[in-house]
Amino acid sequence: MTPAQRRAWESYRDRWVLDVPRGETSTSVAPGATLDPAALFGRAAPLVVEIGPGMGDSLAPMAAANRHLDVLAFEVFEPAIAALLARLATGDIGNVRIASVDAVDGFAHLLPPDSVHEVWMFFPDPWHKARHHKRRLLSPQFADLVATRLRLGGRWRLATDWPDYAAQIRDVLDRHPEFVNEHPDAESAPRWVDRPVTRFEQRGLDAGRTITDFCYRRVDPSPELDDAHPRSSST
Q: 96-108: per-residue pLDDT in tens?
A: 999 999 999 999 9
Is residue 200 annotated as involved in ligand binding? Answer: yes
pLDDT at 235 over 80: no
Which range has the worst mean pLDDT, 2-16, 119-133, 172-186, 204-218?
Answer: 119-133
Q: What is the pLDDT of residues 211-233, one digit of tens each?
A: 999 999 999 987 655 444 444 44
Catalytic residue numbers, as ranges: 125
Q: Give the model's pLDDT for residue 68.
A: 97
Mean pLDDT calculated for residue range 50-79 = 96
Is residue 102 annotated as involved in ligand binding? Answer: yes
Q: Where are the domains of the chain?
A: 3-218
Name the H helices within 74-227: 78-91, 103-105, 140-149, 163-175, 199-206
Confidence of residue 84 (pLDDT cuts 50, 70, 90): very high
- Separation between Cα atoms, residue 39 and residue 33, nearest integer Å: 15
CATH 3.40.50.150 correct for 3-218: yes
pLDDT at 39 over 90: yes
Is residue 14 annotated as involved in ligand binding? Answer: no
Average pLDDT along the chain: 91
Is residue 171 annotated as involved in ligand binding? Answer: no
C-alpha pair distances (Å), 85 with each of 103, 110, 167, 171: 19, 21, 34, 35
Q: 182: which DSSP letter?
A: S
Q: What is the pLDDT of residues 138-192, one digit of tens each?
A: 999 999 999 999 999 999 999 999 999 999 999 999 999 999 999 998 889 999 9
Q: Give the model's pLDDT for residue 221.
A: 86
Is residue 201 annotated as involved in ligand binding? Answer: yes
Which range has the worst mean pLDDT, 22-36, 127-141, 143-157?
Answer: 127-141
Q: Are 144 and 188 in contact (CB under 8 A)?
A: no
232/49: higher pLDDT: 49
Taking the model in full, what pTM does it have?
A: 0.90
Is residue 122 annotated as involved in ligand binding? Answer: no
pLDDT at 44 over 70: yes
Distance of CA 22 to the CA centre of its chain: 21
pLDDT at 115 over 50: yes
Q: Give the model's pLDDT for residue 198.
A: 86
Q: Are 120 and 61 in contact (CB under 8 A)?
A: no
Is residue 224 annotated as involved in ligand binding? Answer: no
Q: Give the model's pLDDT for residue 144.
A: 98
Q: Give the model's pLDDT for residue 136.
A: 86
> HSE-up of 198 (CA within 13 Å, CB side)?
20
Which range has the worst mean pLDDT, 44-58, 65-79, 111-125, 218-232?
Answer: 218-232
Is residue 129 annotated as involved in ligand binding? Answer: yes
